[in-house]
Structure 1
Amino acid sequence: MQTTSLIEVQSLPFWRRPMTLLFVMAAAMPIAFATWSALLNNFVIEVANFDGSDIGWLHTVREIPGFLAIGVIALIRVMREQVLGLVSLLLLGVATALTAWFPTLGGILTITMLSSIGFHYYETVNQSLQLQWLDKERAPKVLGWLMATGSAATLVAYGLIVMTWRAFDLDYNTVYMTAGLITATVALLCLALYPQFESPTPQVKKFVLRRRYWLYYALQFMAGARRQIFVVFAGFMMVERFGFDVHQVTGLFMITLLANMCLAPVFGWVVSRFGERRALAFEYTGLALIFAAYGGIYMFGWGVALAATLYVLDHIFFGLALALKTYFQKISHPADIAPTAAVAFTINHIAAVFLPAALGYLWLKAPEAVFVLAATMACVSLGLSLLIPRHPRPGNETILSRLRPAAAPAE
């Protein structure tokens, strides 16, 4: 297939340019994934009778492909990143469409594994393409707008669920099929209509693990461990403890999406204006307080209003995580972006493979302890974020670094 350089794209119609493709993919992915997430807790509790241990195992299985995201390095040897990303998006859509066909523990775990392969490989490649196709000066703001686009697409999907779930007495299969097929169709259209875009710098197509990226790796590990607790147990708490129905859970998601639509571009500006260290420090401080308050809900019997507020704030603070992407973009050699994106996703999911299942058993005994652990993780992340220099760049990756010449990709 003919390829197009990023210089030649200026002659293409606007709708066929790399930036447009990034926005189309940003809108397409959440339609399937966010719909799956919105219905998940109610689906597994009402249809498959899951308890806390079962939901922990489901999320452990879901995160295995993230742990194996390093396989992207092998795949880009025989397949272009852009094609791999769209094929992964197609797999996510198809697997989501088939989710309700397997209403047993074994069936749900199997179809979840397939959809997760699509999601995690798409996210790995998408992050790589974003950092390759966006220049460093514009990246924070554009990433903010990409987040807002994803939130807008998700908001439309959730809005339709809220308005139609009870009005038309929908079932899980109808909603999963509709959302999944929309995402799959968009992926097929992108494969057919967009040319192959060349990266300005050829990517290293082998395993890359560099000592000078150690702080980025550490922050990725802590982010993965901490986020798993929120993804697995915060929504589960709303259904199990407070009895939220599908339309109530989805309505709560819609509030967070409206907030993110408005604030994601602001977050991009904040990172551009104040730098990655301050943005991440603010995020981790807020998350530590939020997780501590989650624990208080169980220890002191605080009510549903506080739980819902914390859930929204939690989502908002996670939006500042785009600063971690731009931090790596600033310290990395351009040829390292693709392989390091794969390595970082694997590191991000190390804890995710065992943590949900292990904490599922802890949840049965002491739910508040799960959130106290998350607050502790946020504090550790805060300490690490303070090691980011005000102006990170190759040779000045952390405040502990001595300024040195930029490392070559083979070093």
Structure 2
Amino acid sequence: MKNSNRGVNSNCVIKFAAAVIALGISYGIYGTTINNFLSDEFGMNAVQRGHLELPREFPGFLCALMSGALFFLSEAKAAAVASLLISIGMVGLTLTGTSYIKLIIALLFWSAGTHLTQPLVSSIAMQLAEPHSRGSFLGKLRALDAIATVLGGGIVWLAIERLHYNGLFVFSAVASAIAALLFSSMPELTLMHSPRRKFVFDKRYMLFYLLNILFGARKQLFLTFGPWVLIKVFNQQASTFARLWIIAAPLTAIINPRVGRLVDRWGERNVLMLDAAMLIIVCVIYGFASHIPVFGLYLALACYILDQLLFVTGIARATYLRKIAKDESDVAPSLSLGVSLDHAVSMLLPSFAGYIWYHYGHELVFIIAAGLSFLNLITAAVIRCNCKSGS
């Protein structure tokens, strides 16, 4: 994670990497427990699970506004505030009991923090990266995050019987609080500690916006209903998801730097097209695995892992924006707007998909997801960015 060309203070890089690891551990615990928590403690069905995504994803929709509201803070300090919100949300989950109101409030805090950290971490990383290797640097960063999720999943696997959900949520809260301290203590460097633009909307970024909208649709169907297939159709428990994360995260750590280098060498267009094509295959298998005797469960488990791996191609969207950005100060607010647009879809689609699941079966949900992946393939093919990496 070195960057000698721009004279970046090594202390800053180390603290930044440590903060990313802490957030990864926190999310690893959350991601391997939340669906089983909702099923076990609240007895949710597919329709209720879909409806929950509307309030949970609402902060993501407001990401651009929330980021703009923190314009007076540097990106590092804003990331510290976001990490603290995640910690508050995880503590809130321990206090929900069986109250839906308390659950929604806790998830709102968690969601606000999570959706703020995503564009901020990417923007800070691209500032720390050498101009000609931003994709590679982001790949290494996401590899660290993937390794951290292994640790989070391992904690769940080893401690779920002793700590139960509440103990694990407290552990997650502590990890994100540590990330907040690390971000806030990063030494002051250039744009990270300069005044930030409140909001950016530019016609030249329209294709980036569309890519984020389609990604939001695909992402939410998989994040919401992919695990739901394993839980409701194949009766899998929280320990299964912990094991899957422990398998997927090391693979992600290995693949991330390679995908980053591939983006630098092969270009964003080709990487995003390959991602969309593979997702079409994953959607079809995910939707119809339950109809395949003997091997159906294993195919669904494989799809869960492959879907986790394909998230690494998000590197290409971030570096594409950086290449076409008029000014470096456009990057963070534009990434935040991309998150908002992706969540405009994410808020509404799960309720519709939950209705489809309830009345027509989960197969149709993944047929729709395959159609969205095909639209993503067409959109990625439109990318025309011949500028060299780092320009």
Q: CA deviation at 1:26?
A: 1.7
Query: Who is 1:24 aligned against?
Result: 18
Query: Who is 1:327 aligned against?
Result: 320
As a proportion of its length, which structure holds more helix? 2
- Which residue type is aligned with residue 60 of structure 2? G
Query: Who is 1:103 aligned against?
Result: 97
Whole-angstrom distance in 1 between the partners of 2:111 and 2:130: 30
How many residue pairs were aligned? 384
Alignment of 1:2-401 (within 5 A): 10=7, 12=9, 14=10, 16-17=11-12, 19-104=13-98, 105-166=100-161, 169-191=162-184, 193-199=185-191, 205-298=197-290, 303-333=296-326, 334-365=328-359, 366-389=361-384, 391-392=386-387
Are residues 8 and 382 of structure 1, via their aligned partners in 2, closer, same or farther at CA, if it must alter by over 3 Å? closer
CA RMSD, 1 decimal:
2.4
Asked if structure 1 preserves the Cα contact closer than 8 Å seen for 2:61 and 2:344, the reply is yes
Deviations 1:83-139 (A, max 9, x none): 111111111023213312203222211110111111111213222222333243111
Q: CA deviation at 1:393?
A: 7.2
Asked if structure 1 preserves the Cα contact closer than 8 Å seen for 2:49 and 2:354, the reply is yes
Asked if structure 2 preserves the Cα contact closer than 8 Å seen for 1:203 and 1:338, the reply is no
More off after superposition, 278-287 vs 200-209: 200-209
- Which residue type is aligned with residue 186 of structure 1? A
Whole-angstrom distance in 1 between the partners of 2:107 and 2:278: 31
Structure 2 unpaired stretches of 5+? none
Are residues 350 and 306 of structure 1, via their aligned partners in 2, closer, same or farther at CA, if it must alter by over 3 Å? same
Deviations 1:213-245 (A, max 9, x none): 111111111001110000000011111111111
Q: CA deviation at 1:74?
A: 2.8
Whole-angstrom distance in 2 between the partners of 1:200 and 1:73: 14
Are residues 40 and 362 of structure 1, via their aligned partners in 2, closer, same or farther at CA, if it must alter by over 3 Å? same
Asked if structure 2 preserves the Cα contact closer than 8 Å seen for 1:204 and 1:335, the reply is yes
Asked if structure 2 preserves the Cα contact closer than 8 Å seen for 1:332 and 1:393, the reply is no
More off after superposition, 226-235 vs 201-210: 201-210
- Which residue type is aligned with residue 382 of structure 2? L
Are residues 200 and 120 of structure 1, via their aligned partners in 2, closer, same or farther at CA, if it must alter by over 3 Å? closer
Asked if structure 1 preserves the Cα contact closer than 8 Å seen for 2:67 and 2:336, the reply is yes
* Larger-gyration structure (1/2): 1
Whole-angstrom distance in 2 between the partners of 1:222 and 1:207: 22
Asked if structure 1 preserves the Cα contact closer than 8 Å seen for 2:16 and 2:182, the reply is no
SS at match of 2:386: coil
TM-score (norm 1): 0.87
Are residues 164 and 76 of structure 1, via their aligned partners in 2, closer, same or farther at CA, if it must alter by over 3 Å? closer
Q: CA deviation at 1:7?
A: 10
SS at match of 2:241: helix
Q: CA deviation at 1:51?
A: 1.0
Asked if structure 1 preserves the Cα contact closer than 8 Å seen for 2:55 and 2:347, the reply is yes
Q: CA deviation at 1:338?
A: 2.3
Asked if structure 1 preserves the Cα contact closer than 8 Å seen for 2:16 and 2:183, the reply is no
Deviations 1:281-336 (A, max 9, x none): 11110001110111222566662011001111111122122111111111112231
- Which residue type is aligned with residue 80 of structure 1? S
Structure 1 unpaired stretches of 5+? 1-5, 395-405, 407-411
